[in-house]
A and B are shown apart, each in its own frame.
Chain A
Amino acid sequence: MKRGSITEERRPFPVRLKPATMKRSTSRSPVLCLLILSLISSVQAGSFFSEEVWPKVGAQSCFKCHKAGGDAEESKFVLQDPARDQTPARHASLMHNQAAFTRMAKSLKDGESRLLLKATGKLDHEGEEVLQPGSAGHRILEKFVRQVDQPQPNTQGKDAPPFFAGVLMLDDARLLRRVTLSLAGRLPTEAELKRLGQPGAFDQMLDSLMKEDAFYDRLREGFNGIFLTLGADGGDSSILSYDNFSKTRNWFQSYDLSHIQDEKERQQAGYKLARQYREALLGEPMKLIEHIVRNDRPFTEIVTADYIMVTPYTARGYGNFEEIKASFKNPDDPFEYIPVKLKALVGRNKADNQDSETGFYPHAGILSTFQYLRRYPTTETNRNRLRARMYFQHFLGVDVLELAARVSDAAATTAKYKVPTMEAAECVVCHKTLDPIAGLFQDYWRFEGVYGKRKEGWFTDMFGAGCEGVGLPGEERWRALQWLGEHTAKDPRFAVTMVEHVYYILTGRKVLLQPKDLDDPSFAAKYRAHQEQRAVIESIATRFAQKGFNLKQVFKDWVATDFYRADGLTTAALNPERQAELDDIGIVRMLAPEQVERKVAAVFGRRWGRLNDQLAMLYGGIDSKEVTERATDPSGAMGSLQRILANDVACKETALDFSRPAEKRLLFQHIEPDVTPGTAEHDAQIRRTISHLHERLLGRVESAEVERSFQLFADIVKEAAARRHDTEENYYCRQGLEQPVSDPQYTVRAWRAVVTYLLRQYDFLYE
């Protein structure tokens, strides 16, 4: 099989992902419309403002304060956030911002542009010096000011070749293999491979694949890697609070197991009950995600769903099992999840009963689940700020601490102000956004966060509850998280963030951050790479919203992109700039322990079964608590595990496969151990088998590599023929065979060596 070509015709399904075209806004003020119209000709894709001034200076240095709700919102220089702009290609906000910059550039003080004076802290500017004279950012502003005076046509970047020029793409068959392994943990079926090339077939296959249970296992695993709710502290005893569930949360302790006569057996059954209950409880948030996606519900429900997922076991913990047991297909199945609304929580004292105008718990998707609240608890001093931070990161893609601004003297600032977070400009810049969200969680205060109001009332030395400039209406207080969820679902950043999450699930890494260092020689290349990726993310996000927030569409759209299909290069000679542009291209993901196990199962019919617990951690896995990021590169310890895996899987599977009837074999269907190299017929038969092994294990058949494997096999058999050796496979590698397999000519062991060799390769261990 050849590598895929780069022709458009080979695309498996015709998805076009281009930045949307500009459209006039009609819902803005007349003055602004005039301004917009006057700027339409100047703000175009590729303009100096949109490509240089805004991303490199405005967004990085000005926007933090100069925005609605920002510390400089009272100034005349208030900018709009393109990330929240729903107009095509963010034109409305960019035009607004260009107008603001232009006005400031034209405004003079003693003959000098106020824009430059403010930026360098020479005029009254609360942000003081944000750009040093002579810095790259300052030079960009200087050029902008000059252009405002004497507009010049922008020719920058016009001659650049297409971003993916010279990049080879996977052909359809290999793309299908990548998708089925990644999303369903299996190889493509013969039927699927035959359908390739038929109109619409790939799309339909993806639809079918996303109905498989394995896809939902993968989906939950992927989203847990983001939300980490499996790492919620405790289990039965703390996820369900004592005050609200004291009589029901430990139901398993009194569960009648008297029908089990043997005491030890009964004890074991009790342990199992508790373990499954705990597992089911921890699994609820990710099961909510599964439920939404499986049923093609809008993915906005992860912040708006007015229900949670419960099982017969967890329902017993909540105390509503008797009410809902008829809804279960099997009331004894610990892992059958169904959607349920909880009633408003009842406290041990009447005063502690949960406020609710409907009588129900105000569910807000994952946001209000006990697991999420317990995973990100609060303290008297943290005041829900961790939750606010995680909310921004998980649902709006903003990491408020990611690139924290340096404070000139943070300690002095802390000492100087009574409430620095409300008074000191450098603190207010974040806290004015963060603290209102923290306030929305205020009723989830007790028990490190599960429902319960703070006795003294919410803190008054914090910005009041709300969401980015909009205060929480008093009557909405009882359902504050629902109110937040509704705001979130409408925020354009939500869709973008979910598209980014899917990218993370598919690739194992986060999307590119915009480069910051304007003096970096590779800045332009990195910037282009970021912009190319960003354009695709935004296009997919737009479609996501248009398709009713169906998350499956996001998976399908990502799979269709060149970012997912990129596989190689046509030429080895890349200049440093091009190298930097393509630095992040290609999936190239070292498989996580769970993925390795699934791949072994897909190829050999069963898991290896050893990449669990300690070894999984050693192989870069996560525990969702303390270790929350997967290793992306193999250490020597992981290299050792790869060697063990290759040796052991080959040992267990090679002779076993030969011991099966030929038609039931997975690896050696068309060859027997008595076929040795030396005749044309035998050599061809061996090569065919090697090609099959390459296809099955690596998904890639290249003649030079087949020849290398052939030579390995042939050399081992030849070398063995020249010496005495056992006529049977290694003792450990002939256990559990369906029938004895003798190895007088050492061919079974030679095949085992070939399988070992293939299992150690990049194409097996990486995606």
Chain B
Amino acid sequence: MRRDFLKCCTLAGLGLACPGARAATKEGEAYEGPYYVVFNASGGWDTSYLMDPKGIHEINRLYHEGDILTQGAHKFAPNAKHIAAGMSNEDFYKEFGSELLTLNGLDYSVNNHAPGARYMATGKLDSLAYPTFAALVAACKGPACPISYLTFGNYSNTGNLVAMSRVPYPQSLQRIANADFVDGNARAPYHEDVVLERINKALDEQHAGRAAEARLPRVERAQNMLYAAQINSKALQRVTPHIPKNIPKERLSQQAEITLASFKAGVCVSANLSIGQFDSHANNDTDQMKLIPEFLAGIAYFLRRAEDLKIRDKLVIIVQSEMGRTPTYNKGNGKDHWSVGSIMFIGSGIRGNRVLGATDDGQLHVPLNPQTLITDKDQGIRVRPEHIHHSLRQFAGIEDHPFSKKFPLGVKKGEALQGLWG
């Protein structure tokens, strides 16, 4: 009964009636997937150096058209000779190409960082209220998970649906996991068990009593979220056994280990991972040849560690950036903002070895037929973030959840991408 109550109060606190909104997890239960991960190349990646190679018109300076490589259905830019560290495109496609779905010619619609990041994260350009996909799916599938939605940067709005968790270091989780023990020492409880039970019981009763009170909507929401946070936090104890003692120093490795430990412990649904500095207005090639390999190495690290933890087959991974880079170089050998780009996916239920959509020789978008997923200048549409998010919601099975309905994407009938996931 307490579990049902908790489930209800979490949703009721968000202004939703309980009967129509079922939570996917209950207090104490481990969330067992799928786990959703968004990798952000923050600042704007140069897609011509990765999944949308262009060897013409001096769109890039490091290879020619004849140098472009293929792996299955994928065409990609060669970069093994130009990188000093990280993972080359060659190695990445060789290892993951068969699982990888790429969509080129995505119309970001704007070429500024803030709105671009917001649009890519939420599927809505003109609202500040919308949750990111990661937050939305966490709220729908794991409202009772203690760190349901993890974020390490980039646009992270929750739409007031779920609390976001920022965990800067793996060690910080270890410090707080055993909250009822002095310094987390299992042999030094603050209270005897019987006392702690009575404290928790009093809090339960108080919370139940408040449900009948007249409360302002904000008060109700806050009290419910606070209660759920404290109760659910007990599950954090499950995380620490999965945090390795030695973690590589790379930026994404730290984020990966915190995320994977949380997934493995069943306390987390989604995570927003990010590395920045892609905004290569000066010396584009130098920067992109450093950052793309670092980014790919981080993704590979994540997938391999997930394999070790035996949760690889439960991952849904989205790889994105908030904008692309111009097909021309500026005077500082950099590339400026460009509103057309790409997005990639890997994961359970996603058929890989596919490339959809395209850009033309000027790196301009080519319309895509939403029914056939073939480029089609006559019947095609401009595929925009809302189309991607519409498909993601469908894929996650949350498109009809009350939370999703609260934040409609406005994709017109006939514009939904059919069979995107294969």
Contact = CB atoms under 8 A, between A and B. Distances in A.
* Co-assembled chains A and B: yes
Contact of B190 (A571, A651, A705, A760): A651
A294 to B, nearest CB: 33
A636 B218 contact: no
A642 B230 CA distance: 7
A757 B199 contact: yes
A753 B163 contact: no
Interface string A402-439: 11101101111011000000000000000000000000
B110 A404 contact: yes
A513 B128 contact: yes
Contacts of B338: 411, 414
A131 interface: no
Interface in B158-207: 158, 160, 162-169, 171-173, 175-177, 179-180, 182, 188, 190-192, 194-195, 198-199, 202-203, 205-206
B48 to A, nearest CB: 13
Contacts of B308: none
Contacts of A638: 163, 165, 229, 233
A568 interface: yes
A732 B218 CA distance: 38
B177 A704 contact: no
B219 interface: yes
A708 B216 CA distance: 23
A216 to B, nearest CB: 29
A590 to B, nearest CB: 7
A279 B130 CA distance: 38
A760 B363 CA distance: 56
A640 interface: yes
B109 A636 contact: no
Contacts of A584: 218
Contact of A588 (B113, B153, B169, B222): B222
Contacts of B188: 732
B364 A412 contact: yes
Contacts of A406: 109-110, 125-126
A640 B179 contact: yes
Contacts of B192: 725, 749
A513 B173 CA distance: 36
A644 interface: yes
Given A381-B330, A618-B168, A167 B216 contact: yes
B182 to A, nearest CB: 5
Interface in B90-128: 107-115, 125-128
B281 interface: yes
Given A411-B339, A516-B126, A626-B153, A614 B229 contact: no
A612 to B, nearest CB: 12
B233 A640 contact: yes
Among A637, A648, A762, max chain B CB count under 10 A is at: A637
B362 interface: yes
Nearest to B175: A615
A647 interface: yes
Interface stretch (A330-338, A491-499, A711-719): A711-719
Contact of A414 (B107, B164, B267, B339): B339
Contacts of B235: 636
Interface stretch (B75-83, B143-151, B310-318): B143-151
Contacts of B202: 708-709, 711-712, 757
Contact of A637 (B146, B169, B182, B340): B146
Contact of A647 (B113, B114, B191, B340): B191
A379 interface: yes
B236 A640 contact: yes
Interface string B262-278: 00000100000000000
Contacts of A410: 108-111, 339
B330 A708 contact: no
Interface size, B (range): 35 or more
B212 interface: yes
Nearest to B281: A381
B230 A639 contact: yes
A132 to B, nearest CB: 11
B214 to A, nearest CB: 4
Contacts of B162: 633
A585 interface: yes
Contacts of A650: 190
A642 B227 CA distance: 11
Contacts of B355: none
A568 B231 contact: no
A204 interface: no
A760 B233 CA distance: 13
A165 interface: no
B23 to A, nearest CB: 14
B146 A640 contact: yes
Interface string B357-377: 000001111000000000000
B213 interface: yes
A380 interface: yes
B309 to A, nearest CB: 20
B160 A411 contact: no
A753 B233 CA distance: 19
Nearest to B237: A640
Nearest to B339: A410
A397 to B, nearest CB: 14
Given A586-B216, A708-B205, A415 B339 contact: no
Contact of B199 (A517, A585, A641, A753): A753
Given A404-B112, A756-B199, A617 B166 contact: yes
Contact of B282 (A379, A566, A571): A379
Nearest to A166: B214
A586 B264 CA distance: 39
A514 to B, nearest CB: 11
B365 A614 contact: no
Interface in A693-716: 704-705, 708-709, 711-712, 715-716
A485 interface: no
Contacts of B147: 635-637
A732 B182 contact: yes
Contacts of A582: 216-217
Given A615-B175, A636-B232, A760-B203, A627 B166 contact: yes
B334 interface: yes
Given A411-B340, A766-B226, A634 B163 contact: yes
B163 A749 contact: no
A709 B218 CA distance: 25
A693 to B, nearest CB: 14
Contact of A633 (B127, B198, B225, B233): B225
A570 interface: yes
A404 B190 CA distance: 52
A631 B177 CA distance: 20
Contacts of B212: 572
Nearest to B114: A401
A644 B167 contact: no
B176 A637 contact: yes
B176 A641 contact: yes
B179 A401 contact: no
Among B127, B171, B190, B222, max chain A CB count under 10 A is at: B190
Contacts of A516: 126-127
6 contacts: A410-B109, A410-B339, A412-B364, A569-B214, A636-B146, A640-B176
Given A647-B179, A704-B209, A757-B199, 20 more contacts: A403-B127, A404-B126, A410-B108, A411-B338, A571-B214, A572-B213, A586-B218, A615-B172, A637-B146, A638-B165, A639-B228, A647-B180, A647-B191, A648-B190, A715-B198, A716-B195, A730-B190, A732-B190, A749-B191, A760-B203
Interface of A: 167, 379-382, 401-404, 406-407, 409-412, 414-415, 513, 516-517, 566-572, 574, 579, 582-586, 588, 590, 614-615, 617-618, 620, 626-627, 631, 633-644, 647-648, 650-651, 704-705, 708-709, 711-712, 715-716, 719, 725, 730, 732-733, 749-750, 752-753, 756-757, 760-762, 765-766
The 3 A-B pairs at the shortest CB distance, nearest first, are namely: A636-B146, A639-B229, A410-B339
